[in-house]
């Protein structure tokens, strides 16, 4: 048996088809000035072909898959995506192929450096676009993924968004890849089509050969080559249980998120693009708890204008209608190489010049965003959330800039929601420790557990050597969460959570017991979270949380939560 990371639930039986990675050698050539226009035309023709292919694909898909491909198409059609490539041809006189390689790689690097898992995953879409454009320039032949044999299990180094969209899903019974994560568009599409998928299988394209008979468990990440009858029966039993669970989860689609003893909470979705709002609604999200506004800044050579931002936020407001959508202001800094900001490299960017610190130091940039959000608030129920707040002074300074923007719009007779809610992220221990004071000067909190854990236990979450120390079960983290919730409630404001812990069924009973009001998560986790909440008793969870707050180790906490959930 082999083991990877399950990213899409389900059981699959079938025969392997390996998608071999194209080996390219991109030759660097210097062209004459007279050839520049020709190389630019070759580049634009390749892009047009990729765009045309994508638009044709979109005519044959619908629902979540169409939403994902629409987001992909938006990236593909963004002029700023190819500006580096065009400049490499115009200024450095590179041939189109080499210009694509260096130009796209610079954009990919920006996204890969982001500490936000969702946004970092978008780098794979840009890599996919680069490879498709190179394929057109080099006139490569491609495999017909729309004509597969029944019961095919795809094995690839990485299955790209465009490749996944081409798949003949009725004949695909599983996906195995060496690379990828649960936030990739491929994983999301696999879950949409209920195709079991496993990633992080080292050297999968070498371990298997075409035609191998395998069975996979997309929940556990287990892969069985030439499964025995006993293994088949075990998996078939699990498959039946998963189908029963899926049927049961559908019962919670139109229900309230409420505990057995009557405590109502909100289940929101985290999104990274305006088109993700449609996906959130289809997954019965009651609002958007986190819109990562960085998508507007990451693939551009220039600062997005107020109008660019207004249109994007307006789209979200109109999609969500009367449901709240919380927009996090620019959370970017020294760890992201935005050329137009001319940021200096920092020894420790996670403790450096980023997020609200950068915005307060650059009020012109900050005002453009705040004015755009305010204008868009006239079209729906938007809220503003400031990230990386560590002190009362920062909160007051941010609110002062917001008030200046309101006065400007008033003077211009521009409409906006006069009562727009303003909140902060609680992701730095200092903010959690003075939560009672901060709560007196804002409308809501949202706990960002990903960074709160990192800053509390002094562990960079991407560092594999010490990753075992990065845990949401650490008693200190739990006490800070409690302080944030209690601080909010003292001033009668709500406290939500938009970190990954909010969607974890094992952690939800603890959060209910601590009094969390709003849970924001990947939208595909919402029905499962609602089922968990609807089957909990708030008073019992409160006793559980009181017990856990007395514990001294993460191991004890995790063990106790597992016991509680299993019983």
Write out the DSSP string of 374-418: HHHGGGS-EEEEE-S--SHHHHHHHHHHHHHHHHHHHHTT----T
CA dihedral 153, 156, 162, 166 (to 10 degrees): -30
Query: Angle, nearest 10°, between helix axes 526-534 and 229-250?
Result: 80
Query: Read out DSSP for 286-322?
Result: SSEEEEETTHHHHT-SSPPPHHHHHHHHHHHHHHHTT
Residue 423's SS3 state is: strand
Look at residues 232, 119, 245, 236 and name the one whose alpha carbon lies nearest to residue 184.
119
Q: What whole-number distance in Å separates Cα of residue 373 and Cα of residue 314?
A: 8
Q: What whole-number distance in Å separates Cα of residue 315 and Cα of residue 295?
A: 14
Q: Please say if the pLDDT value at position 418 is more than 60.
A: yes
3-state helix, strand, coil in the chain (%, to 5): 55, 15, 35
Q: What is the pLDDT of residues 501-543, one digit of tens each?
A: 999 999 999 999 999 999 999 888 899 999 999 999 999 999 9
pLDDT of residue 315: 95
Q: What percent of the chain has pLDDT over 70?
A: 92
Calculate ∠ Cα 336-340-346, nearest 5°: 40
- Residue with more model confidence, 100 or 143: 100
Strongest mean pLDDT among 59-63, 547-551, 563-567:
547-551
Contact call for residues 139 and 374 (beta carbons, < 8 A): no
State the pairing for strand pair 11-19/152-156: parallel
Q: What whole-number distance in Å separates Cα of residue 255 and Cα of residue 531?
A: 9
Q: Please say if the pLDDT value at position 190 is more than 90.
A: no
- Examine the residue annotation and report whether 442 is marked as an active-site residue of this protein: no
CB within 8 Å of 499: residues ≥ 6 apart: 427, 447, 448, 449, 450, 451, 452, 453, 472
Whole-angstrom CA distances from 195 to 152, 201, 246, 248, 278 are 11, 17, 13, 19, 21
Domain ranges in the chain are 2-20+147-227, 33-137, 266-566
CB within 8 Å of 548: residues ≥ 6 apart: 475, 478, 510, 513, 557, 560, 561
Which helix (H) or strand (E) segment holds residue 103: the answer is: helix 96-112
Q: Please say if the pLDDT value at position 334 is more than 60.
A: no
pLDDT of residue 450: 86
pLDDT of residue 336: 53
- pLDDT bucket at 194, cuts 50 / 70 / 90: confident
- Residue with more model confidence, 348 or 365: 365
Q: What whole-number distance in Å separates Cα of residue 399 and Cα of residue 443?
A: 12
Report the CATH fold assignment for 2-20+147-227. Glucose Oxidase; domain 1 (3.50.30)
Over residues 7-23, mean pLDDT: 88
| DSSP classification of residue 354 | B
Q: What is the CA radius of gyration of the chain?
A: 24
In the structure encoding, which two tokens stand for residue 104, read together?
A: 């796209």
Over residues 455-482, mean pLDDT: 88
Q: Please say if the pLDDT value at position 459 is more than 90.
A: no
Q: What whole-number distance in Å separates Cα of residue 159 and Cα of residue 157?
A: 7
| DSSP classification of residue 176 | E
Q: Please say if the pLDDT value at position 439 is more than 90.
A: yes
- Residue with more model confidence, 223 or 243: 223
- pLDDT bucket at 435, cuts 50 / 70 / 90: very high
Contact call for residues 422 and 383 (beta carbons, < 8 A): yes
Over residues 219-243, mean pLDDT: 93
pLDDT of residue 267: 97
Over residues 338-348, mean pLDDT: 67
Whole-angstrom CA distances from 186 to 160, 189, 194, 492 are 6, 5, 12, 41
In the structure encoding, which two tokens stand for residue 154, read together?
A: 């795809």
Over residues 401-406, mean pLDDT: 98
Residue 277's SS3 state is: helix
Give the distance between the most distant pair of CA atoms in the chain: 77
Q: What is the pLDDT of residues 226-236, one digit of tens each?
A: 999 999 999 99
pLDDT of residue 65: 63
pLDDT of residue 183: 64
Query: Angle, nearest 10°, between helix axes 117-137 and 96-112?
Result: 170
Q: Which of 359, 442, 498, 541 is catalytic?
A: 498
Over residues 367-384, mean pLDDT: 98
Q: Which of 185, 193, 359, 474 is catalytic?
A: 185
Report the CATH fold assignment for 33-137. Enzyme I; Chain A, domain 2 (1.10.274)
Q: What is the pLDDT of residues 81-110, one digit of tens each?
A: 788 899 999 999 999 999 999 988 888 887
Q: What percent of the chain has pLDDT over 90?
A: 62
pLDDT of residue 346: 66
pLDDT of residue 391: 97
pLDDT of residue 125: 82
**CB-based burial label for 513 (10 Å; 0-12, 13-18, 19+):** buried
Calculate ∠ Cα 561-566-567, nearest 5°: 100
pLDDT of residue 446: 98
Over residues 123-133, mean pLDDT: 85
Q: What whole-number distance in Å separates Cα of residue 472 and Cα of residue 351?
A: 20
Q: Is 462 left (phi over 0), alpha (psi -120 to 50) or beta?
A: alpha
Contact call for residues 488 and 494 (beta carbons, < 8 A): yes
pLDDT of residue 13: 96
Q: What is the pLDDT of residues 50-74, one digit of tens each?
A: 898 888 877 766 656 666 777 778 7
Q: What is the pLDDT of residues 16-59, one digit of tens each?
A: 999 877 778 898 999 999 999 999 999 999 999 989 888 887 77
- The superfamily (CATH) of domain 266-566 is Phosphoenolpyruvate-binding domains (3.20.20.60)
pLDDT of residue 115: 65
In the structure encoding, which two tokens stand for residue 458, read together?
A: 């002094």
Q: What is the pLDDT of residues 264-306, one digit of tens each?
A: 999 999 988 888 898 899 889 999 999 988 877 765 667 889 9
Residue with tokens 């959130």: 280
Contact call for residues 199 and 187 (beta carbons, < 8 A): yes
Report the mean per-residue pLDDT for the chain. Answer: 89
State the pairing for strand pair 421-426/197-199: unpaired
pLDDT of residue 535: 96
């Amino acid at each position: 048996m082999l083991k990877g990371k399950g990213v899409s639930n389900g059981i699959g039986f079938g025969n392997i088809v390996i998608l071999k990675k194209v080996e390219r050698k991109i030759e660097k050539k210097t062209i004459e000035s007279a050839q520049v226009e020709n190389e630019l035309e070759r580049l634009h023709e390749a892009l047009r072909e990729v765009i045309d292919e994508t638009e044709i694909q979109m005519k044959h898909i619908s629902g979540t898959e169409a939403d994902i491909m629409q987001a992909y198409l938006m990236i593909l059609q963004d002029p700023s995506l190819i500006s580096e490539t065009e400049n490499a041809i115009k200024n450095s006189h590179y041939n189109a192929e080499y210009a694509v390689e260096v130009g796209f790689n610079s954009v990919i690097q920006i996204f890969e450096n982001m500490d936000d898992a969702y946004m970092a995953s978008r780098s794979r879409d840009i890599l996919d676009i680069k490879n498709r454009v190179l394929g057109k320039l080099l006139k490569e032949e491609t495999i017909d993924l729309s004509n597969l044999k029944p019961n095919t299990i795809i094995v690839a180094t990485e299955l790209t968004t465009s490749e996944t969209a081409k798949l003949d899903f009725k004949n695909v019974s599983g996906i195995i890849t060496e690379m990828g994560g649960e936030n990739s568009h491929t994983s999301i599409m696999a879950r949409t089509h209920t195709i079991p998928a496993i990633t992080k299988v080292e050297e999968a394209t070498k371990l298997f050969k075409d035609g191998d008979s395998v069975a996979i468990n997309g929940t556990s990440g287990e892969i069985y080559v030439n499964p025995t009858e006993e293994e088949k029966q075990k998996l078939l039993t699990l498959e039946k249980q998963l189908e029963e669970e899926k049927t049961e989860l559908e019962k919670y689609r139109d229900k309230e998120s409420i505990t057995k003893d009557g405590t109502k909470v909100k289940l929101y979705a985290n999104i990274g693009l305006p088109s993700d709002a449609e996906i959130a609604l289809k997954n019965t999200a009651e609002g958007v708890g986190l819109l990562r506004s960085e998508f507007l800044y990451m693939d551009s050579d220039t600062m997005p204008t107020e109008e660019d931002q207004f249109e994007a936020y307006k789209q979200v407001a109109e999609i969500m209608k009367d449901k709240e959508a919380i927009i996090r202001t620019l959370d970017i800094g020294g760890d992201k190489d935005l050329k137009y900001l001319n940021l200096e490299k920092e020894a420790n960017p996670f403790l450096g010049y980023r997020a609200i610190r950068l915005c307060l130091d650059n009020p012109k940039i900050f005002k453009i965003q705040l004015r755009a959000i305010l204008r868009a608030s006239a079209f729906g129920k938007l809220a503003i959330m400031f990230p990386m707040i560590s002190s009362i002074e920062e909160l007051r300074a941010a609110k002062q800039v917001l008030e200046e923007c309101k006065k400007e719009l008033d003077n211009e007779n521009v409409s906006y929601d006069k009562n727009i809610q303003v909140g902060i992220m609680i992701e730095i221990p200092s903010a959690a420790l003075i939560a009672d004071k901060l709560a007196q000067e804002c409308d809501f909190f949202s706990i960002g557990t990903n960074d709160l854990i990192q800053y509390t236990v002094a562990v960079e979450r991407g560092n594999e050597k010490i990753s075992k120390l990065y845990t949401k079960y650490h008693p200190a983290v739990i006490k800070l969460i409690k302080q944030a919730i209690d601080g909010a409630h003292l001033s009668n404001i709500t406290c939500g959570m938009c970190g990954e812990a909010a969607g974890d069924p094992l952690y939800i009973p603890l959060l209910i017991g601590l009094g969390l009001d709003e849970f924001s998560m990947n939208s595909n986790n919402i029905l499962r979270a609602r089922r968990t909440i609807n089957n909990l008793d708030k008073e019992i969870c409160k006793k559980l949380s009181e017990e856990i707050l007395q514990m001294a180790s993460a191991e004890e906490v995790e063990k106790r939560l597992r016991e509680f959930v299993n019983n």
